[in-house]
């Protein structure tokens, strides 16, 4: 058989290299970009690539990519309690870094979504949706087992790492009572002057649907001090002002037991919970609101959101 002509060799080489080139160039384009930006507010969300396990970063309009922003562990953990038992167990727990297999993320419109198999035959489908006035975190929990869970939580953990919101001494973090807004930690004025080694580590909480804890201060065996506000919050959210007072971040759900924070991280928790029957599905929802405005604006928006 005669050897291929130079022209044939050239075209074979051209076609092969073109296919390889196009494959390399088109692959990133064919995969959805794992980031969302709201055209009206400019709020930006992206999947954190430095972690295998699911986490998101939120930036306000104008914030640099180098700003640590708000880190959302999505979720921090999934915890459940079986029927007839008193102790809860972790079906999932976040850990940072690159490890194991990354969940397959999908983007559809203004939603980022992934699925993950948890322990004990439970599957998690998690969605973060950037809406016009909030970020909605939605969890579907699907139980393929015979286990009956009286309680299950998927705990979203938004950490205000950015200095723009960070509030270690809780000077800008509020709850709402029947008579109006109050600093979450208003009953602990000594926090403003005590050394940080005495103030931290701690958790500060206000009850919403749960009974108020009888002790104002509880020292736990793990060295963490829990501070309990003496009055119920009458709205299920925490609100933290930015350092210049222009922006407010709010985390809320419909019926959390309490609202609380770890001030060292300046995280916000309003963790909902539900039950999960054998071979059944349950859902959990939590929202984060970021707005320019006043605390009164926050209250109006939260009350409107809770009707939806």
Token representation of residue 7: 């022209």
Instruction: Summarize pLDDT for 242-271 with one digit per residue, the tens.
Output: 999 999 999 999 999 999 999 999 999 999
Q: According to the model, what pLDDT value does residue 221 have? A: 83
- Residues 2-53 pLDDT 10s: 444 545 444 444 444 443 343 443 333 334 589 999 999 999 999 999 999 9
Q: Are 259 and 206 in contact (CB under 8 A)?
A: yes
pTM for the full predicted model: 0.88
What would the pLDDT profile of 119-132 be if each residue is shown by its tens digit? Answer: 999 999 999 999 98
Which residues 6+ apart lie within 8 Å of 215 measured at CB?
A: 228
Looking at CATH, the fold of the domain delimited by 35-306 is given as Beta-galactosidase; Chain A, domain 5 (2.70.98)
Would the pLDDT of 292 be above 60?
Answer: yes
The more confidently predicted of residues 28 and 287 is: 287
- Write out pLDDT tens, residues 52-104: 999 999 999 999 999 999 999 999 999 999 999 999 999 999 999 999 999 99
Euclidean distance between CA atoms 276 and 110, whole angstroms? 28
Domain ranges of the chain: 35-306
pLDDT mean across residues, the chain: 91
């Amino acid at each position: 058989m005669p050897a291929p002509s130079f022209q044939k060799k050239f075209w074979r080489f051209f076609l092969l290299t073109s296919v390889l080139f196009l494959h390399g160039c088109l692959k990133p384009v064919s995969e959805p970009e794992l980031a969302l930006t709201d055209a009206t507010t400019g709020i930006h969300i992206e999947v954190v690539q430095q972690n295998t396990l699911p986490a998101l970063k939120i930036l306000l309009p104008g914030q640099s990519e180098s700003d640590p922003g708000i880190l959302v562990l999505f979720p921090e953990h999934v915890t459940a309690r079986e029927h007839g038992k008193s102790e809860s167990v972790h079906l999932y727990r976040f850990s940072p870094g690159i490890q194991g297999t990354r969940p397959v993320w999908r983007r559809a419109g203004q939603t980022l979504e992934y699925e993950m198999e948890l322990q004990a035959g439970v599957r998690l489908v998690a969605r973060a949706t950037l809406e016009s006035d909030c970020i909605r975190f939605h969890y579907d929990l699907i139980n393929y087992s015979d286990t009956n869970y009286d309680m299950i939580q998927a705990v979203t953990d938004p950490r205000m790492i950015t200095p723009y919101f960070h509030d270690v001494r809780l000077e800008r973090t509020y709850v709402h009572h029947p008579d109006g807004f109050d600093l979450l930690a208003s009953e602990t004025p000594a926090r403003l002057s005590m050394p940080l080694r005495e103030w931290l580590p701690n958790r500060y909480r206000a009850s919403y649907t749960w009974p108020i804890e009888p002790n104002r201060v509880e020292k736990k065996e793990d060295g963490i001090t829990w501070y309990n506000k003496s009055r119920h919050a009458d709205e299920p959210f925490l609100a933290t002002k930015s350092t210049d007072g222009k922006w407010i971040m709010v985390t809320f759900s419909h019926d959390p037991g309490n609202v609380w924070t770890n001030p060292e991280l300046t995280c916000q928790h309003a963790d909902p919970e539900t039950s999960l029957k054998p071979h059944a599905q349950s859902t959990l929802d939590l929202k984060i609101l970021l707005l320019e405005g006043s605390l009164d604006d926050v209250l109006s928006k939260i009350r409107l959101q809770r009707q939806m």
